[in-house]
Structures are given as structure tokens and as C-alpha cells.
Structure 1
Amino acid sequence: MSILNFGSLNIDHVYHVDHFVRPGETISAERLDYFSGGKGLNQSIALAKAGANVYHAGKIGVDGENLKQILSDNGVHTDYIEMTDGVNGHALIQVVPSGQNNIIIYGGSNHEITEEYADRVLEHFGEGDLVLMQNETSCIDYIARKCAQKKIKIAINPSPISEKLLDTFPFELVSLFFINEIEGRELSGKEKTDEILDSLLEQYPDSAFVLTLGHNGVVYRDKNNTFTHGIYDIKVVDTTAAGDTFTGYFLACYAAGEPVPDCLRKASVASSLAVSKPGAAPSIPRMEEVQEAKSHLKYVEFQNPLF
């Protein structure tokens, strides 16, 4: 199986600050770092480091040529990445001493994906393959419908959640959802974890859902099974790539046919290791690191009072 990631390619501008800037406030950053990023790029690198055969499709601007090389250096196939004449997509990220962050994204070249480009890429994929998407690029509703026609399975991380996405994306075509609590509430209209998953399964009975719950852990549910996994106690440096690392690792293991509990465990270890290092893509561990770390990380059992 090949995994095709129609995903964003960003340059991250990371500002280390004492606290998140408040309305009307001007603050000074203690340090500025530049990293490769974007949910798409991060997830492709996580997929590759977890052992998947992954192709990335996307657009880079005139200032983003190094992003293609970074993907290639990390084992991602870059045959379908194209350059545009505009500015590359980028993110402005504030990181506070606790490791928490907030992010502003500018789409740039990521919003130059067209139906014609999608058709050219999808000519090379078909039944038995899987496509992964996020909500940081243009044309994803068209891509989903085209994949369904070609019997390509669809996984989506619907982030950032938006009114347009909720109104236009054909969620009924999705096989596997990666969502956090905010996205789960927006998609389901419910508040509690069990109610979110019940509602989503009622709407999309043939789909599977991976719902991440921050420091409480993660829940997987499909129409036949429910599995949970806790977290690992580790010093947090930067949470920027935590979710993308989890998504890439879970999907790589899941596509390889591993049992869901193993997928959850490996993805949880990988995301824990990622938050212990600065940056997005550079913090994503390799599978050897994940396998080695499993034996010595302190595990905290899944505990969610809303489940």
C-alpha cells in the first residue's frame, strides 16, 4: 500500500516568548527559530519515519525549495511536489516556557492546489492505496470525491476546523478520522467524549475515529471496537508537532495491518518523544527510537471523566 499525503508545506517562524501576547500588547521574543513545518509535511515525515511508503503532493513557493529536500532526506517521495511563483505557506508560532504554543497560518502556495493538479497526481494511485488530507490546502473536497471514485481510502485530520470545511467536505467518504476534542465537538455538536463518538458513529457508521484528548490520552472507536491509551510522563519542550507525529505513526502502523492497540501505543510514544525536543519536523523520532523508548518511559493510565 502507498500512502499519498495531499498536504501543506510550511516554513515555521517560532517565537519564544514569556507569555502569549494579549490584545493590544507588544512583547519581545527571547529567540526566533526557523523550522520546516506544516501539518502535511510533519505528517509525511512521521509516516516515513514510522516505515510507511509515503508520497507527498503539494505546492511550494519561491522561498520554499528546501522543503522538498527536507522531505526527501527523511524518506518521503517528492515526485509530485511542484513550485509556484508565489510565497510559500508559513506559520507564526508563539511558544511559552511550558512548551505550549499558539499558531497563525498563512496558506500561500498551499492554496494553489487545483483540480487539474490533483487529477495529474491521482493518475498514479488507485484501489488499495490511501490518501491523507488536512484542512491547510485548497481543493480537498474535490480530491476526496476523486479518491472515492478511484476506490482510494481516505483519512483526514480536519484541522484547522472551519465553517467552509463543515459545509463542503464530504465526510461520508472518509474511512479514518483523526480529531481532537475541539474538532470532535464541531463535527458532532456534542460535548462529552462518549457522546461525541456515539454521534459521529451514527453519522458515519463505516468510519473509524481516533480522538486525542491531550493529557488524558486517546480513544479509538469504530462500529465494532473501542480502545483507549494513556500518556507518557515526559518533560515538555515544544508541543508543535505532537498531533502530527501521532497521526503519522498511527496511520503508518494501521495501514501496515498492526492491531489498533499497538498503533495507539507506538503513536503515543512517538508523540511523547516529539514534545521533548524543539521544533516541528526535526523533533519527530524514528521508529528505532520509539521501539527503544517504549521500555523506559513512564506510562500514565488513560483517565477521562467524560468517557
Structure 2
Amino acid sequence: MAIYNLGSINIDHFYEVDHLPMPGETLASSGYRVGLGGKGANQSIAAALAGAPVHHIGAIGEEGGWCKTRLSNAGVDTDLVATVPTATGHANICIDTAGENLIILYSGANAHISDTQIGEALGQAVPDDYLVLQNETCLTYEAALIARACGVFVVYSAAPFDASRAIQMLPVVDLLVVNEVEAEQLSSALGVEVDDIEVPNLLITRGANGAVWRVGATGEHIYADAFKVDPVDTTGAGDCFVGNTVAALDHGMTIPDAIRFGAAASAIQVTRHGTADAMPNRAEVVAFLAERGSD
């Protein structure tokens, strides 16, 4: 099996600040660095480092060649990453002393992925492969339709959250991933309780409170506790969790084991600075679970 990821590729600009800025406030940064990011790139690298075969579908500008190289070096297949005549997507990220963040996104090349790329990529997919989607690119609905017709399992992270877009995606996804706030926003937009959101599988991430997977057909709830660590940067933690969870499922793990694997990976990731740069590899996660598995 393999993972196909129609995902964003961003150049991340990190600014270390004493506290997150308020409206109208100007802050001096105590540190600055640049790295590879984007929810898509983060998830692709997380899944590839976890040992899954990953094919990334995306776009960069002329100045973003190093981003494609970084993906390749992490083990991601980048044959379907196009170079387009616009700037690579980027994010400006403020991180405070507690590791919390504030992010401003610019879509750039992520909004210029073509139907041809998606058709060419998913033409290679087979039943039981996975398609991973987020809200930082165009054509997510169209890609999900193609994937479902091919018997591919569609995983959709509804972030950055947009209620109308999430509602459009519900009929064409197999697993919807949201955090607690997004789950409440979606339930409010639909006028139903969170547990009544109609989707085959619902995975809610709850930060320090772990995660819960609801199986739609049976109503069963499967819980994974978070591991206690001292975070230094929570940017990309959700992407790390999703990438590792899907990679674990691709390896044949059960749902409880897969989400626990994802929780362990994200626990490691938040103790490091950066997003894609901070993703652990499979051996690190296995060792962490061996040490902390009884937590």
C-alpha cells in the first residue's frame, strides 16, 4: 500500500517572541529561522520517516527548489511536485516562550496545483492506498472523488478550518480529522451534536488530552492518551500525529495502536524546534513507546 498526499508546501519563517502579539502591537523577535513547512509537506515527511511509501502532489515556485529537495531527502516521492510561475507558499509563525504559536499563511503555488497532476497521481493508486488532504491546497474535493472511485481511503484534515468546505467534503471522505475547536465549529454549522456528524470515521485531536477516534458504523470510541512531555514548539504537532497515524495504518496496525503511535510521534516532535525539521523517524517512535509505553 502507499500514501498519496495532495498537500501544501510552505517556506516557514519562525519568530521567537515573549508572548503572542495583540492587535496593533509591535513585538521585537528574539530569534529567527527558516524551515520547510506546510501541512502537506509536514504530513508527507512525518509519514515517510515513519516508514510509509509517500507520493506528494503539490507545487512550488522557482525559489522553492530546496523544499522539493528536502522532501526527497526525507524519502518522499516528489515526481508530482510541479514548479509554477508564482511564489512558493509561505507562513509567518510567532512562537512564545510556552511553545504556543500564531500563524499567517500565504497560499502561493499551493493554489496552482493542476487537475492533470492529480489525475496522473491517482491513476497509479490501487484500492487500500490512502489519499491525505488538507485545506491548504486547491482541488481537494475533486481529488477525493477520484480517490473514492478507485477504492482509495480518503483522510481529510479540515484545517485551516472552513465550515462550508468541510461540509462539502463530508460525503467524500473516509476519515475526517479535526481538533476539538474545529469539531465544535463543524457541529454548530451542521446543527448537530459532534457525535452525530455523518462521516465513516471521525478523529478528534485534543492536545494534551490525547485523541479519540469514533467509528461511524458502530459508534465505538477509541481513545489515545497524550504522553506527558515539556513542549518547546507545538507548530506542526497535529500534522505529525496525522502523518504517523496514517503511516501506522498503512503498516497494518489496528486503530488503537495507530493513534497511539501517532501520539508518541507528536510527543517527540513538540520537544524540538521547527515543523518538518522536527519530525521523528520510526526508530525514534518505537524506542519512545518501548520506554514510555506504560504511560
Normalised-by-shorter TM-score class? over 0.9
Question: Which segment is superposed worse, 156-165 or 132-141?
Answer: 156-165
Alpha-carbon contact 1:234-1:297 (below 8 Å) kept: no
Deviation at 1:118, TM superposition (A): 2.0
Q: Percent identity?
A: 34
Deviation at 1:96, TM superposition (A): 0.2
Partner of 1:131: 131
Partner of 1:287: 282
Correspondence list, 1:120-159, <5 A: 120-159=120-159
Alpha-carbon contact 2:155-2:174 (below 8 Å) kept: yes
Alpha-carbon contact 2:163-2:186 (below 8 Å) kept: no
Unpaired runs of 5+ residues, structure 1, are 301-307
Partner of 2:271: 276
* Structure 2 CA distance for aligned equivalents of residues 156 and 178 of structure 1: 6
Alpha-carbon contact 1:230-1:299 (below 8 Å) kept: no
Partner of 2:210: 217
* Structure 1 CA distance for aligned equivalents of residues 294 and 44 of structure 2: 27
Residue identity in the other structure for 2:172: L
TM-score (norm 1): 0.90
Alpha-carbon contact 2:163-2:185 (below 8 Å) kept: no
Which of these residues, 217, 220, 226, is aligned with residue 221 of structure 2?
226
Unpaired runs of 5+ residues, structure 2, are none
Partner of 2:82: 82
Correspondence list, 1:109-188, <5 A: 109-166=109-166, 169-188=168-187
Q: Write out per-residue CA displacement over residues 153-198 of structure 1, whole angstroms, 9 at most, x where no aligned residue.
A: 211111011144145x3311211122111221122228xxx941x2
When the two chains are superposed, the root-mean-square deviation of aligned CA atoms in Å is 1.9
Alpha-carbon contact 1:145-1:170 (below 8 Å) kept: no
The 3-state SS of whatever aligns with 1:179 is strand
Q: Write out per-residue CA displacement over residues 221-273 of structure 1, whole angstroms, 9 at most, x where no aligned residue.
A: 10333211211111111001211110011111112221122112111111000
Residue identity in the other structure for 2:177: F
Correspondence list, 1:1-307, <5 A: 1-166=1-166, 169-189=168-188, 195-196=193-194, 198-200=195-197, 203-204=198-199, 207-222=200-215, 223-224=217-218, 225-297=220-292
Residue identity in the other structure for 1:71: L
Deviation at 1:27, TM superposition (A): 1.1
Q: Write out per-residue CA displacement over residues 9-40 of structure 1, whole angstroms, 9 at most, x where no aligned residue.
A: 00000000011111111111111110100000
Alpha-carbon contact 1:10-1:91 (below 8 Å) kept: yes
TM-score (norm 2): 0.94
Alpha-carbon contact 1:54-1:77 (below 8 Å) kept: yes
| 1:297–1:163 distance in 2 versus 1, CA, 3 Å | same
